[in-house]
Amino acid sequence: MSAAGYDDVDSSFYAFEQAGYLLRRLLPKALSENALTKAEVQSAVEECAARDVESGRGADS
């Protein structure tokens, strides 16, 4: 990976952890279909949010 972008004031370790998680989660679908649907992205985001709730992190991390 050598392409990425950040906000020099508003970015964080956790924001990139979340983006990495979503990338990993969506990769198999993108590989098999060479496209992603709104439902797939929505499901991944919801799973990511649930994962944070389970870990007690919440959105404000």
Where does this chain bind another protein (CB under 8 A)?
Answer: 1-24, 26-28, 30-32, 34-38, 40-46, 48-49, 55, 58-60
The nearest distance, CB 28 to another protein, in angstroms, is: 6
The nearest distance, CB 14 to another protein, in angstroms, is: 6
The nearest distance, CB 60 to another protein, in angstroms, is: 4
* Rounded Cα–Cα distance for residues 39 and 2 (Å): 28
Greatest C-alpha distance within the chain: 37
* Rounded Cα–Cα distance for residues 52 and 28 (Å): 22
* Rounded Cα–Cα distance for residues 29 and 47 (Å): 15
